[in-house]
Chains A and B, each alone.
Chain A
Amino acid sequence: MNSPATIDLLGRLDAVAFAADKKTLRITFAAGGALGRLGFSADEATGDAQFLIKRLHPDDRERFLALLQGVAADGKERRLEHRMVSADGAERWFRTEMHVAQSEGQVLGLMIDLTDARRTAEALHATEAHLRQVLDNAPVILLAVDKNGIVTLTAGKGTRAIGHRPGQSVGRNIFDIYPEETELHGIVRRVMAGEELTTTNHARGAWWDMHWTPLFDAEGRPDGFTAVSVNLTDARVAQGNLAHSNALLRATLEATTDGILVVDGQGNVVDCNARFGEMWKVPPELLTTRNDERMLAFAITQLRDPEGFLARIDEIYANPLSVTHDIIEFLDGRIFERDSRPQLVDGANVGRVWGFRDVTAERRATRRATFLAAASKILAGPLENVTPLDVVARMTVPWLCDWCHILLVEEDGSASSAAAHHHDASKIELIRRMRPDLRKSDRGVGRVIATGEPSIANDIADEMLGGALDSVPVSLQTRDQVDILRSLGLRARMLVPLHARGQIIGCIVFATANPHRRYDQDDLNVAMDLAQRAGLAIDNQRLYQTSKQAVALRDEFLSVASHELRTPVTSALIAVQSALSVGDEAPVSFLRQALGSAERQTRRLGKLVDALLDVSRIQAGRLELQREPLDLGALAREAVALLAEDARRAGCDVSVEADEALVGRWDRARMDQVLSNLLGNALKYGAGAPIHVSARRDGERARLIVRDHGIGIAESERERIFERFERAVSSKHYGGLGLGLYIVRRVVDAHGGEIRCESTPGAGATFTVALPLQ
């Protein structure tokens, strides 16, 4: 053992071999390469074999010596890891094995320097720990599973997140760990067969993205797998939030009644909502092209001012940061509010968002209210030199129509043009030539007049106005008139009835040549409202005229009444004063004449007062009849007899022709009044000519006729003379209150009869009263 060859050989080992005496336990020999590591030479070791003991780490020396003692005592092999202290004081680790040499009674030991191996192991351990730490802190769950399905490794922060303690799963079957994962069997089978998989699942309140990677042994046979689960919850939440925001944005875009258009910095359409397409009437196929230029070209064809529109867009794009608001007017009458603002992302201008709001209804409502208020004001105010219809025709052009024509129904059933207006004044005369045939009650103005129903016609094409007169949808009288309508370019029209005096008096035509203008219910409402106001104005104007006439009539009546009352008073006064002014010698004939006048004039006064009272009664509806059996023939003869003196004075020869026993149930005093009034009129207006009275039976009626040959009554006056205070002649020529015929008619009416007047002016008048006998 001490041979140089052995020592040399031992010197090449990274170890120290030593021998110790079995009895004394003293080190007798030590050699080996590792001595150098401890800072000793081989000579030093040979010179003092005890140095090994000295170089033992103080903490490990006792264990070492105990081991040596134990081996020496029972001869069993033992081993120990311990530290040695090198010459420079550094610690080195050794593993020492000791056993008893059978032949020499020595304990032999071999110390193997573990320091480097141990350092490597520690480094490895540190690396593994680090790796472990990294894995354990990774937001994943890492599982390694062997080919039997047994978990061999778990790592990752996710493990703790799902409540697993470290190492808890190791050694267990994966199916036992996740019994609830029904899909796991299929996945494990596939990955065990060598397939690499990625799955996503929701478990324990979180979303997981799982990557399954098969493992193979050295021969390439499947040997288990790893499963890495990445918690996607945060990503999912972020992604969900984004999706939520997008959905919210989309829903908001689609929920708004505004049209929204988003255009990028290059002017390309990025997005728009469905409402935008509807509002601009963009065909879906054009909308999907997202081609800004084509969409713009399409849009401007609908606008009132396309050039202005394009100029405004250029202006807006020239000021990329501008926020704008303006109004767009369409040919079809629609009005949009347009708002735009830049789209800024982190301060960078990436495009522009346009909003379009259809404010047609509001604008029109405002305009309508303003218009109707103005119309009302004008129509309610004093109209100088214009009729309410002129006002209507002028006011409605051009905002409601290009032309307005107002037609009135004449007494003979024909239509007359009462007012017309066109924004091109040169066309007004053309319009005035339009004359509907009101007998055509199935179409156009004729139908509106016949039914009182308004009508709207839109999208009128020239062809519709072509062809024969009977085939056109308007009620015009001649083909020429229809041609004028075509030349005016009629495209849409509204017809509304004009009511006044409680009946349809005409029709208002609102028409346009604008092919984009379509009349709707709102327009019709305005037109009807206007027609109603015009009708009221007509009524008011008429009432005003009537009341003015009534006032004039009253003044005239007061003047006439004053004259009528003054005359008998004057006459009576003259008669009485005459009688008083003469002496006792006055002839009797003079006095008789005076007193006769006084009596007649006083009676006349009495009759006037009666007539005034009758009018008052009739007005108050208190004309009461006291019917009794009455012979009209006899009554007529009596009345003529009573007026014999008046007839003589008037120079009239009065003849009577009456059936016998023409008896009915009438009021004697009132019928007497009828007779005396008719006869009085005949004497007054037919003085100097014969008068004929007849009372005859005519079936179930009695017919009383009073015919004179006086001045007669013009046709236009024949109805009027039966009204209160009316007369057919000037009060400068004829006296009378103008009440006689009024009272006659009311009395006849009260008896259920009727009165009519026939006359040839200048040749006399015939009044015929028909009275039911019962």
Chain B
Amino acid sequence: MAGGVLVVEDDEDIRADLAAILRVKGFAVEEAANGKEALAHLRDGARPCLIVLDLMMPVMNGWELRTAMLEEAALAHIPVVVVSGKGRIAADEEATLAPAAVLVKPFELSELLELVGRYCPRDGAAPAGR
């Protein structure tokens, strides 16, 4: 089943704000506070169109989730936008993470919206604003 955008982020404010604006922009959004929650969700059969993944999280961090995903054929192909809080990530790290794109905090909201728009359909339910 093709799902919406999965936002995996431990910072509650960022997660809530991103979810709110994406919904306002017409995307379906699911949320996870850490890698463990996200992986459980995926293993339950969720197939998001895009995962917005923060790297540094408690319990299970972004690297661990990505490693687990890449080891499972059913999950490996899901596009992931990595959000780095530590500036640009190193080339070898990027090769391991195999992301669709990398956003470095603080990023422009418009960049994220453009990426989400590239991978995910708008459900058109309530496109607020423009």
20 contacts between A and B (CB under 8 A): A566-B87, A570-B14, A570-B107, A571-B11, A571-B17, A574-B18, A577-B108, A577-B109, A577-B110, A578-B24, A578-B109, A585-B129, A586-B24, A593-B20, A597-B13, A684-B58, A731-B56, A732-B61, A733-B56, A733-B59
Whether a CB of chain A sits under 8 angstroms from the CB of B57 is: yes
Q: When chains A and B are docked, how far (Å) is the Cα of A600 from the Cα of B56?
A: 20
Query: Which single member of B16, B107, B110, B129 contacts A583 (CB below 8 Å)?
Result: B129
Of A585, A590, A601, A732, which is within 8 A of B55 by CB? A732
Contact A732 B14 (CB under 8 A): no
Chain A 6-36, CB-CB to B under 8 Å as 1, else 0, gives 0000000000000000000000000000000
Bound CA span A709–B93, Å: 34
Shortest Cβ distance from residue B14 to the other chain A in the assembled complex, whole angstroms: 5
- Cα A730 to Cα B87 in complex, Å, equals 18
| Contacts beyond the supplied A562-B85, A593-B16: 14 A-B pairs with Cβ under 8 Å | A562-B87, A563-B56, A570-B105, A570-B106, A574-B18, A575-B13, A577-B109, A578-B20, A582-B21, A583-B128, A585-B129, A593-B20, A594-B17, A731-B56
CB distance from B11 to the nearest CB of A (A): 6
Q: Mark A557-596, 1 if CB is under 8 A from B, else 0.
A: 0010011001101110111011001110110001001101
Residues in chain A near residue B119, CB distance under 8 A: none
Return B82 CB to nearest CB of chain A, in Å: 13
In Å, the complex CA distance between A732 and B107 comes to 20
Residues of A within 8 A of B12 (CB): 649
Q: Which of B83-110 contact A (CB under 8 A)?
A: 85-87, 105-110
CA distance A578 to B24 in the complex (A): 9
Number of residue pairs across A and B with beta carbons under 8 Å?
A: 96
Contacts of B20 in A (CB 8 A): 578, 590, 593-594
Let me know if B130 is at the binding interface, CB within 8 A.
Answer: yes
Chain A residue contacts of B129, Cβ below 8 A: 581-583, 585-586
Return the chain B residue nearest A589 by Cβ. B20
Q: Which residue of A lies closest to B64 (CB)?
A: A732
Question: Residue-by-residue, is B9-51 near A (CB-CB < 8 Å gives 1, otherwise 0)?
Answer: 0011110111011001100000000000000000000000000
Query: Which chain B residue shows the least CB distance to A569?
Result: B106
The answer to whether A566 touches B105 (Cβ under 8 A) is yes
Q: Assuming A573-B106, A574-B109, is B24 touching A590 (CB within 8 A)? A: yes
Interchain CA distance A600-B12 in the complex, whole Å:
11
| B-side contacts of A649, CB under 8 Å | 12
Question: Which size class do A's interface residues fall under?
Answer: 20 to 34
**Complex contacts, B58 vs chain A, CB 8 Å:** 684, 687, 733-734
Q: For residue A571, which residues in chain B have a CB less than 8 angstroms away from its CB? A: 11, 13-14, 17
Q: Is B17 within 8 A of A578, CB to CB?
A: yes
Tell me, rounded to whole Å, the shortest Cβ–Cβ distance linking A602 to chain B. 11
Establish whether residues A735 and B86, one from each chain, have CB atoms under 8 Å apart when the complex forms: no
Instruction: Assess the B61–A597 pair: CB atoms within 8 A.
Output: no
Q: With A571-B14, A586-B24 in contact, do A559 and B105 touch (Cβ < 8 Å)?
A: no
Query: Across the interface, do A566 and B106 meet the contact criterion of CB distance under 8 Å?
Result: yes
Closest Cβ neighbor of B16 among chain A residues: A593
Docked CA distance A158–B114 (Å): 144
A75 to B13, CA, bound (A): 192
Count chain B CB atoms within 10 A of each CB in A574, A578, A593, A600 and give the residue with the most.
A574
Question: What sequence of 0s and 1s flags, for each residue 237-277 of chain A, a beta carbon within 8 Å of any chain B beta carbon?
Answer: 00000000000000000000000000000000000000000
User: Given the complex, which residues of A lie within 8 Å of B110, measured CB to CB?
Assistant: 577, 581
* Cβ contacts under 8 Å, B128 to chain A: 582-583, 585-586
Question: Do A597 and B87 touch (CB < 8 A)?
Answer: no
Question: What's the Cα separation between A590 and B128 when bound, in Å?
Answer: 11
B17 surroundings in chain A (CB, below 8 A):
571, 574-575, 578, 593-594, 597
Q: Which residues of B contact A731 (CB under 8 A)?
A: 56
Quote the shortest CB–CB distance from A730 to chain B (angstroms). 8
